[in-house]
């Protein structure tokens, strides 16, 4: 009985930004828990390669190519998929980007891109899919936040602002949509070895600092995010709403 609470067999999950990194790892983890997967990205070639790799493991995988920052494109893609393939039960809003520069020199266009990619996309995809979930009276939304939801570091102030906003948007989603049977929560990774952090992983000075700053003493591995994502996507979290779970090796609770 207890293990069945985490079983995703018969569910379909859309993971945005899932051709690589955390999104790809979460998609694979949800598939191994029984879910049918819908991969999303803007680069069709990368998406096809990711899809092929998961299909080789025997999973059922769909590809949905759309730009998460384009409100109309998002709505059209999701409405069409729901009408022609079937319902999407789980949404993982993972698409995101980073740009590093001192705040006093931060380019305005880069700031705008961060707002659109990291915040607006959560609204666009969340709203488009929630309309279908509300009609069904059930649904799971997992918004990928960050350790920067709670903390800040030099050179990434706009990114920190966007991830703080994602956590508050998650609270708003739960407040509006829990009454319709939806659970909307955040998952906040700490420092993980991903393409987004490649420059930091390659920097011995930063990696040394991180090992000393993090109680666990190391970078996170993307597969260590999967268990929390499965929990938030499954019946096990049926009364969990509006919260953000930090998976960060303890960095956000330690001085």
Summarised one tens digit per residue, pLDDT across range 67-103 is 999 999 999 999 999 999 999 999 999 999 999 999 9
Q: What is the pLDDT of residue 197?
A: 85
pLDDT for residue 1 is more than 70? no
User: Is 10 within a domain?
Assistant: yes
Query: For the chain, what is the mean pLDDT?
Result: 97
3-state DSSP assignment of residue 230: helix
Residue 5 contacts residue 230 (beta carbons within 8 Å): no
| Catalytic (active site) residue 159 | yes
Range of the domain at 236: 3-246
Instruction: Give the active site residue among 123, 159, 180, 191.
Output: 159
User: Is 254 within a domain?
Assistant: no
User: Is 253 within a domain?
Assistant: no
d(CA 181, CA 5): 17
d(CA 242, CA 174): 5
3-state DSSP assignment of residue 146: coil
φ, ψ for residue 243, nearest 5 deg: -100, 160
pTM of the model: 0.96
Q: Which residues neighbour 8 within 8 Å (Cβ) at sequence distance 6 or greater?
A: 30, 33, 34, 35, 90, 230, 233, 234
Instruction: Report the domain count for the chain.
Output: 1
User: Is 177 within a domain?
Assistant: yes
Q: What is the pLDDT of residue 196?
A: 76
User: Is 251 within a domain?
Assistant: no
pLDDT for residue 195 is more than 90? no
Across the range 118-140, mean pLDDT stands at 98
d(CA 87, CA 176): 21
CATH number, domain of 65, equals 3.40.50.720
């Amino acid at each position: 009985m207890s293990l069945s609470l985490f079983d995703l067999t018969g569910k379909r999950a859309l993971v945005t930004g899932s051709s690589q990194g955390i999104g790809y790892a979460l998609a694979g983890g949800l598939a191994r828990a029984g879910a049918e997967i819908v991969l999303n990205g803007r680069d069709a070639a990368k998406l096809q390669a990711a899809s092929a790799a998961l299909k080789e493991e025997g999973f059922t995988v769909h590809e949905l190519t759309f730009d998460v920052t384009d409100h109309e494109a998002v709505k059209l893609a999701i409405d069409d998929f729901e009408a022609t393939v079937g319902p999407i039960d789980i949404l993982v809003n993972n698409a995101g980007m980073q740009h590093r520069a001192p705040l006093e020199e931060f380019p305005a266009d880069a700031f705008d891109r961060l707002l659109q990619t990291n915040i607006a996309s959560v609204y666009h995809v969340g709203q488009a899919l929630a309309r279908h979930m509300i009609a069904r009276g059930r649904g799971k939304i997992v918004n990928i936040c960050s350790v920067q939801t709670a903390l800040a570091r030099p050179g990434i102030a706009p990114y920190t602002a966007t991830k703080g906003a994602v956590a508050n948007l998650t609270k708003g989603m739960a407040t509006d949509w829990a009454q319709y049977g939806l659970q909307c929560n955040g998952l906040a990774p700490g420092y993980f070895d991903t393409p987004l952090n490649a420059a930091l992983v390659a920097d011995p000075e930063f990696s040394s600092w991180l090992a000393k700053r993090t109680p666990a003493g190391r970078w996170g591995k993307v597969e260590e995010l999967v268990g929390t994502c499965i929990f938030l996507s499954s019946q096990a979290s049926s009364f969990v709403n509006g919260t953000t779970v930090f998976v960060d090796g303890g960095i956000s609770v330690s001085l």
